Amino acid sequence: MPIYLDNAATSHPKPESVYRAVDHALREIGTSPGRGGYRRGLDATRIVFGARESLAALFGIKDSARLAFTSSATEALNLAIAGMLRPGDHAVTTTMEHNSVSRPLRMAEKRGASITRIPCDRSGFLNPRDLASALRADTRLIVITHCSNVTGTIQPIAEVGHLANQAGVPLLVDAAQSAGIIPINVESMGIALLAAPGHKGLLGPQGTGCLYIAEGLELPPLVVGGTGGHSSGEEQPEEMPARFESGTLNTPGIAGLQAGVEFILGTGIETIRKKELSLVRQLLAGLAEIKGITLYGPASEKERGGIVSFTVEGKDPAMVGFTLDHEFGIEVRTGLHCAPGAHRTIGTYPTGTIRVSPGWFTTEHEIEVFLKGMDEILRHATS
């Protein structure tokens, strides 16, 4: 079996309960939530409600109705950014963002908004003082990734949230690499908008995600149409979550997502984080001993999510990834990871890095096999 070390893209494998939940929703439920008063229709509605409640418990959200399901974190980020920024508005972000933040912001800029991109240091860290200095009277949004998908750098979200609240500016957090892995509490961290994918750290299937919208924020929907209720009116419903959930929801995916979140809640996110830190520590220590490898991101594993990026002197990252796959059966990610600004920040543009991202089901033995593979690649390169 191949050794899978690309959990930052999609977690694999999933807990067995996730597979069972998806299969049950497809085979035994088979219908849409909110579209029928018969028993299976009500069962589908209960699946969606249960998943919303589980996510609210994980993120410290008091009212689960403030969570809207989306097809991905990308959709959630587009919904938040397009909804918050109008021509003449100002937003603040960083140079470490994924394209799922950068591109919607660029679109908003083309429509008349102005964007300040705060440079981060070579380890990927934002200085909150720089953010505070960038705020203006017309600032309507702060957008920041919680954990970099390139370096694993964990940003000081609680400190940024405090600054945002003091300034009266909503904070949108991209939790693509942190949800389900790093503890998040929207209330204590001052998060007004939280975008998360279902298929990464939340251990759910692809095609799932969510957006939390704090009480008092009003956003226009990206898509309007049938919501399963309010059928008599031509206007889109005002109340959440129906306002942002037009069309048939991905009930099997949401069932799997709930099972993934319940697995996290049952295991304990601190337990998950502890294992992640152990694997990252093993990776950093092992790669540091191999001559010709340059590591990127924070030196301390405690300041990282489950991501380690590196380059090999004199070797294209893509060729290293190809060799790992074809000669050792090890699957990693190479290139720019959809975050060119982050690579410019850390000095790895345009070739990118080799990215290793273990997950909950990764073993220490698999990390050791990977390290031996990298050592062999480097020894062959110098022989």
- Known catalytic residues? 338
- Nearest-angstrom CA–CA distance, 154 and 177: 9
Strand order in the sheet with 333-335: 293-296, 308-312, 353-356, 333-335
Query: Which long-range contacts (C-beta less than 8 Å, at least 24 apart) are formed by 192-195?
Result: 192/164, 192/217, 193/80, 193/84, 193/217, 194/59, 195/70, 195/73, 195/76, 195/77, 195/80
The DSSP 8-state label assigned to residue 199 in this structure reads S
Unique residue bearing structure tokens 């990734």? 145
- Nearest-angstrom CA–CA distance, 201 and 182: 9
Handedness of CA 226, 228, 231, 235 (dihedral sign): negative
36 CB burial (10 A radius; 0-12, 13-18, 19+): middle
227 residue type, one letter: T
